Amino acid sequence: MLNFAVPLRLCTIFCAFATMGNGISAEGFSFNSLPIGTAAVVALSSQDTSRDTKAIRAVGERWRQLYEAGRYSEIADLYTEDTMVMPRGRPKIMGREAMRTAVGGLAAGRRVSIDVREQELVVAGNYGWFIGDFTVTYTSNAGRPARSEEGRSLVIFRRDTDRVWRIHRDMDNPAPMAGSPAASPPGSGSSAPAAWDGSDRTEAVECDRVAASRYDRTRLAPAVARSDMNIPAAITTCEADLAKLPGDPRILFQLGRLYGYTEDRVKTRATREAAAAAGNHNAIFLLGYLDWVAGADPSAKCRAADQMLLAARRGNYSAQLTYSSLVLERALAPCYDTAPRPELQQFVTRAKAQADGFFETRFADHLLATLAQGDK
């Protein structure tokens, strides 16, 4: 069964509060200019706040102890009864008992190390909030390569009527890798190819007429099967059109298809990469899929899967069907940040609307039925 459990990155908040020491708090408040009576009250308040921040950090230490011991169901007791957890890319988790069934699912077969950098920890009455950056590193017990990711977190704590501090609200989001100018989740960010939807050109050129692919749902001319092509002549035509329209994403993709039939691997790869860099999601998916098939290790396959996910998010129907099927087959199990189930359902629904054959439609129906079964 598929397990869309709480991501391990959530424990970055709770696993390392005991190591935080440089954040902002009420401690260290200067009251030299206040009247003596007021200063005494402030000093007492500061002491209370100090105890509260220590108690909040103790929640994190307890979380870490329980998680490392595999006692996941007990972790839920660190949350308020009406807690809300909002992990990135996943449905929100409402309530302590829902948290009890959700936490820990992604830990199977993996070890986790976490580094948290506290940015702010403030206590105000019966509430406290924490803001921090974290690095979480996942290491598989099966010998797969370790993988790290960066994130930022906001956690709100509440002191309940029994005077115990518990986790009340929690959310996290991706952050750039340390030392890098930018980092983004698959399908977004400055490192991704330019967005392209095929609307930049609405009139077909001769290259479209001689080399359009049936898998290109943005094509401007009827699809041409390989058996109906004069490949050398088509290459000459598309090269001439590319000279007139330099960098045209669709012409580059079609030319890459033609070069592929000549078995010139260097020219084929270079042209497809140029099409992908120009934003053609057909090329992004095709390169991702080919790299997935050729991937020699899980890291290479996961990088390829990220490209397929990007193409799916850009609207490529082949990517939407292929990526969703790989997730459901657990082929992406070594990858730590796959698309959530609701997004997969959106992918397949949109792809089905573009299907142009009986078997494609049946395949989409099968994926939707499997997704509808949930974790059953």
351 close to 357: Cβ distance less than 8 angstroms:
no
pLDDT classification of 243: cutoffs 50, 70, 90: very high
Residue 376 in this model has a pLDDT that exceeds 80: no
Per-residue pLDDT at 79: 95
If phi > 0 it is left, if psi is from -120 to 50 it is alpha, else beta; for residue 179 that is left
Q: Confidence class of residue 104 from pLDDT cuts 50, 70 and 90?
A: low
CATH of 8-174, one of 3.10.450.50, 3.30.300.210, 3.60.40.10, 3.40.50.300: 3.10.450.50
Tell me the residue length of the chain: 376
Fold classified for 206-372: 1.25.40
pLDDT at 178 over 60: no
Q: Are 158 and 140 in contact (CB under 8 A)?
A: no
User: What are 93's strand-pairing partners?
Assistant: 85
- Segment 215-219 shows an average pLDDT of 90
The per-residue pLDDT for 336 is 64
pLDDT at site 337: 72
* Stretch 168-181: mean pLDDT: 69
Residue 136 in contact with residue 122, Cβ under 8 Å? no
Each residue's pLDDT tens digit, 199-212: 889 999 999 999 99
Instruction: Compute CA 283 distance to the chain's CA centroid, rounded to the nearest angstrom.
Output: 21
Query: What pLDDT is attached to residue 308?
Result: 94
State pLDDT tens for residues 255-297. Answer: 999 999 998 889 999 999 999 988 999 999 999 999 999 988 8
Domain boundaries, the chain: 8-174, 206-372
Kind of pairing between the strands at 165-174 and 79-86: parallel
Question: If pLDDT is split at 50, 70 and 90, which confidence band does 46 have?
Answer: low
Least confident segment among 188-192, 250-254, 264-268: 188-192
Average pLDDT across the chain, whole number = 79
Question: Strand runs (DSSP E) across the chain, as ranges?
Answer: 79-86, 93-94, 110-124, 127-140, 147-159, 165-174
Q: CB 254: neighbour CB atoms within 10 A? A: 32
